[in-house]
Chain A
């Protein structure tokens, strides 16, 4: 039977591309999280702004149906 090296290269090449793509995705996410952390330092819960300081207004109660 002939050796079919083309099929061997295709199989290993495809696997290498898939694994490298997933690895790069993990590294990219790692960098994104590092950037996010340096931009916005984590604030402890006790020092965070109180809930009442939220800019969104409190919901008003709906009037009862007549």
Chain B
């Protein structure tokens, strides 16, 4: 299963790159720098997905004390932090030529930064507490609480005046972007989701083996 996810992700990422650089047209206003969108938007989608999985698995862990749910939460949090980091870095690089600044403390950027720091804290909490059961329990609570920031991140561009543009895909109503751009974006969504699935299944298997080795 893990190997299949890996191969599918590799193929989908290659197709995604071809779509982003070969098929999608040059954007009229921003020029080719807009092609960062095919990296930035799928990354944040996977980050949302990862943290929703953390919250769901954490809830299941608190109810059932299932070691599998705990491992899923830990693995998904790691992947989520990686993809949030990529979102912040790619957004900052995209912001410099289009906004004229690497960073600004507007609602979207600040709420994403808070999300990133909270899940870094989640991983630190897991690593710091030696009692495994206690670490899992505290991390599960933090994993659920931190997920409350996701709607704040997503709707911040609608609730406050921000430099960041409003959502163009995950919003009420049909997408308004041209079909070629939309298809390229959706292919990259699929590619990043497969990559996330590969990372999480691999990490869950490793965490299970680590637990067996320590038993």
Q: Do A and B come from one complex?
A: yes
Q: Does B82 contact A11, Cβ atoms closer than 8 Å?
A: no
Among the stretches B90-98, B103-111, B166-174, the one at the interface with A is: B90-98
Which one of B35, B86, B202, B210 lies within 8 Å of A15 (CB-CB)?
Answer: B86
Q: Does B36 contact A11, Cβ atoms closer than 8 Å?
A: yes
Q: Does B85 contact A33, Cβ atoms closer than 8 Å?
A: no
Q: Please give me the residue from chain A that is nearest to B97 by CB atom.
A: A4
Q: Does B43 contact A36, Cβ atoms closer than 8 Å?
A: no
Q: Does B36 contact A26, Cβ atoms closer than 8 Å?
A: no
Q: Does A1 contact B202, Cβ atoms closer than 8 Å?
A: no
Which residues of chain A are near B93, meaning CB under 8 Å?
A: 7, 10-11, 14
Q: Please give me the residue from chain A that is nearest to B6 by CB atom.
A: A23
Please tell me the size bucket of the interface on B: 20 to 34
Q: Does A18 contact B85, Cβ atoms closer than 8 Å?
A: yes
Please tell me the size bucket of the interface on A: 20 to 34
Q: Does A4 contact B85, Cβ atoms closer than 8 Å?
A: no
Q: Does B35 contact A8, Cβ atoms closer than 8 Å?
A: yes
Extra contacts, 5 of them, besides A2-B97, A15-B86, A18-B82 (Cβ < 8 A), are A11-B36, A11-B89, A14-B86, A14-B93, A18-B89
Chain B contacts to A: CB under 8 angstroms: 26, 29-33, 35-36, 39-40, 43, 78, 82, 85-86, 89-90, 93-94, 96-97, 195, 199, 202-203, 206, 209-210, 212-213
A-B interface, 4 closest residue pairs, ranked by CB to CB distance from nearest: A3-B32, A4-B33, A4-B97, A11-B90
Chain A contacts to B: CB under 8 angstroms: 1-5, 7-8, 10-12, 14-15, 18-19, 22-23, 26, 29-30, 33, 36-37, 42
